[in-house]
Structure 1
Amino acid sequence: MEAKDGRRPIVVGYDSSSAGQPAFDWALQEAERRHVPLHLMVSRGVLYAAAPTVGAASPWPYDITGELVEEARSFAASRAAGVPIVTESAFGSPASVLLNASREAAMVVVGRRHHTVVGEAVAGSTSAQVVAHASCPVVVVDQELHAAPDAPIVVAVDGSPSNGAALAFAFERAAALKAGIVAVHAWWLDVPGRVGGSWLSEDQVGEWRKSAQAVLDDALSPWAEKFPDVSVRRVLTRDLPVDAVLAEAQGAQLIVVGSRGHGGFAGLLVGSVSQGLLHHERPCPLAVVHPEG
C-alpha cells in the first residue's frame, strides 16, 4: 500500500451515502497537506455469518461490486483536486477492510452514522471497531468541517505511558498548522466538582489537585520543550474526562485522545474516554491515537 517513495497513504472508506462525504473531504485535505496518496477503500461482502444457520456470506456479485468501485472512482475524480487517489476493493466487512488497510497506512479516516449506543453494541459500528483495533491513528469525522486550519487542537492528558503517542500526534500537527494546543486533564475522586457535597475535606481536595497538576505538567513538559513555538493552554478540572474535553472543544479543529487512558479493572469501571467521546455529539473530528508497538 505504500507509495513508491515509501510514503504511507491516508486511508478512507467509501460510503455512498451523504454521511461519508465529510470523512472523505477531511481525508482528502490531510492527504494534500502531507503530500501523500489517498486510498479509497470499497468493501464487498462480509466475513461473518448473517445468522446462526447461515454460513459465511459470499462476496457480492461482480456487477454490484463493479458498480460500487466505478461509483467510488467517479466520486473521487470529482473531488480529487490534484491529490493522487487509489480506489481499492476488498472482500470483507467495512471494519475488517479498513483494519487490514491500517497496517500500512499513516492514518485511517472514518465517518460515523448516528445510532444509539445500545444499537451500536448490538449491531456493531464500523467506526467503533476501527477506533478500537486499528494499527495507526484513526480520525472520526461525522459532520461538515467549519474550523479554521489554525484553530486549536484539544488533547486529553491522563499521565499514562500510552498517552505519549496522543501528545506527539497533537503537538506535531499543531506545529505544522501553526495552531495552539488546549491540554485537558480531568480528575475526580467521588463526584465532579460541580455536584454539591463531598466526603473529602478541603485539604484533601487540595492535595489531589496538586497531584493532578503535577500529572499535567509532567506530561506536557517534554513536548513543550520540543515544540517551543506551539502555544499551550493548560486546563485542570475536577470533572469526568469526556465532559471536560467536550467543554473545551467548541471552536477547536480536532480532539486528540489516546486509545487507552486506563488499564485493567479501573478501565472497566471508568470506561474508555475514546469510546465515550465517539458516542457523544462533538463540534469537531476526533483523533484516536494508539501507542506505538
Structure 2
Amino acid sequence: MSTTAAARPVVVGFDHSPPGEAAFEWAAGEAARRDVPLHVLVARSMLHPVMAGYRLTTRWPEDLDSELVEQARERVAELSPERAAIVKSVAGTPAAFLVDASHEAELVVVGRRRQSALGEAFSGSTSSQVAAHASCPVVVVDQVFELAPDAPIVVAVDGSSANDPAVGFAFGRASDLGASVTAVHSWGLDVPQTFDSPWLSEDRVIEMEDLHRAQLEASLAGWSAKFPEVKVRSVLRRSLPVEAVLSEAEGAQLIVVGSRGHGGFVGLLLGSVSQGLLHRERPCPLAVVHAVSGPTS
C-alpha cells in the first residue's frame, strides 16, 4: 500500500508513560510496515467549572499540553522521520477520541497501565474501552517487547462466524510478515475434570474432543486456502480459553482474539476471552478484532 491522502492511518494515543511509549513505538513501526500515515493523539481529561445546561465556563488552555505535544512530535521525528504523521491535541477523554478516530483508521494502538479487572470496571480503562468499542482492530501494548518479525502469531479460534475477522487478521498479518499462525481452540465439559470417570465414559470424552477438532479444522480451512503460504499449527486444548491461549503465547509476536463487543462491567461478568487476556500478563501485544471490522492484515 502506498502512502496517500486517502490511506487509512494507524492511530495511537500518546501520554509519555512507559506503556504509552511502548504503544507509540509499536504503532510507528506498524505504520512504516503498512506504508500508511501515523496519527498521534494527545488527549487530556480535566475537570472544568460548568453551569447546568451550558458549555465550559472557561476556555481550554491551549498551552496546557503543549509540552506533551512537542514530546510526541520529537518522538515522531526520531522513529518515523519519513512517515506522514499528524500530532493532534484534543480536550476530553482519551478513550472517546480514540474510538471516534477508529472509524477512519486502519488500526488503533493503545498502551495499558496494569490494574485489576475490578479496578478497571469502576475507574475505567482507556485500553479496555477502546478495545471494546473501536470500529477497527485494536492493539494493546503493555511494554516494549523484543520480538522477531517472523515469530508466530497466536489466534484464538472458537469456531463461530463472529470469530472469522480475528482469524483473517492473523492469517493476513502472517502472510505479510512471512510468519506462521498458531491457532488455539479450547474446549471443556460441564463437569470438573476430576469427576470425569463417574460422570462420563472415555468414549464420550473422545467423541467431544473429535467434534472440537473438526470444528477447529473447519474454521481454518478457508483461510488456509486463501493464504496457502502461511504455515499453520493447530492446537486443541481442554482448558479455559484464556489459559489455552497464554500457554502458546511464549515466543509469539502477537496474540489475536475476537470480540463480540461486551465492554465494561458486562464484559467482565461474562468472562469474555478478550477482556480476560487484557487483564493478564502477556509475553507480547494483544490485538482485539471485532466481528465487524476493518482491514485484516
TM-score by length of 1: 0.89
* Code of the aligned partner of 2:30: E
Map Cα deviations across residues 62-92 of structure 1 (whole Å, 9 max, x no partner).
2213333223222322322422221012232
Structure 1: distance between partners of 2:144 and 2:268: 33
Map Cα deviations across residues 212-252 of structure 1 (whole Å, 9 max, x no partner).
11110110000011111110000011110000000000000
Q: 1:26 to 1:250 in 2, by over 3 A?
A: same
Residue 41, structure 1, aligned to residue 46, structure 2: no
1:28 corresponds to which residue? Answer: 28
What are structure 1's unaligned runs of at least 5 residues?
A: none
Residue 235, structure 1, aligned to residue 235, structure 2: yes
Out of 268-277 and 119-128, give the one that drifted further.
Answer: 268-277
Structure 1: distance between partners of 2:55 and 2:116: 27
Q: What SS is found at the alignment partner of 1:234?
A: strand
Q: 1:268 to 1:85 in 2, by over 3 A?
A: closer
* Code of the aligned partner of 1:105: A
Map Cα deviations across residues 22-73 of structure 1 (whole Å, 9 max, x no partner).
1111101100100011100011335x899xx9x9876642221333322322
1:180 corresponds to which residue? Answer: 180
Alpha carbons 2:268, 2:276 under 8 Å: kept: no
Alpha carbons 1:152, 1:254 under 8 Å: kept: yes
1:122 corresponds to which residue? Answer: 122
- Structure 1 position 269, deviation (Å): 6.9
* Code of the aligned partner of 1:141: V
Map Cα deviations across residues 162-214 of structure 1 (whole Å, 9 max, x no partner).
1110011000000010000000000012257xx42222221221121111111
1:220 corresponds to which residue? Answer: 220
Alpha carbons 2:4, 2:36 under 8 Å: kept: no
Alpha carbons 1:39, 1:85 under 8 Å: kept: yes
Structure 2: distance between partners of 1:282 and 1:75: 26
Residue 86, structure 1, aligned to residue 86, structure 2: yes
Structure 1: distance between partners of 2:240 and 2:132: 21
* Code of the aligned partner of 1:79: L
Structure 1: distance between partners of 2:24 and 2:218: 37
1:197 corresponds to which residue? Answer: 195
2:145 corresponds to which residue? Answer: 145
Structure 2: distance between partners of 1:244 and 1:60: 47
Alpha carbons 1:158, 1:261 under 8 Å: kept: no
2:285 corresponds to which residue? Answer: 285
Q: What SS is found at the alignment partner of 1:64?
A: coil
Structure 1: distance between partners of 2:42 and 2:118: 27
Structure 2: distance between partners of 1:72 and 1:26: 14
Alpha carbons 2:117, 2:268 under 8 Å: kept: no
Q: 1:268 to 1:101 in 2, by over 3 A?
A: closer
User: Cα RMSD over matched residues?
Assistant: 2.5
Structure 1: distance between partners of 2:105 and 2:29: 16
Number of residue pairs matched by the alignment = 283
Aligned-pair identity (%)? 57
Structure 2: distance between partners of 1:270 and 1:83: 41
1:77 corresponds to which residue? Answer: 77
- Structure 1 position 121, deviation (Å): 1.2
* Code of the aligned partner of 2:194: G
Alpha carbons 2:43, 2:92 under 8 Å: kept: yes
2:7 corresponds to which residue? Answer: 7
Structure 2: distance between partners of 1:147 and 1:191: 39
Alpha carbons 1:108, 1:139 under 8 Å: kept: yes
- Structure 1 position 160, deviation (Å): 1.0
* Code of the aligned partner of 1:151: A
Structure 1: distance between partners of 2:261 and 2:16: 34
1:67 corresponds to which residue? Answer: 67
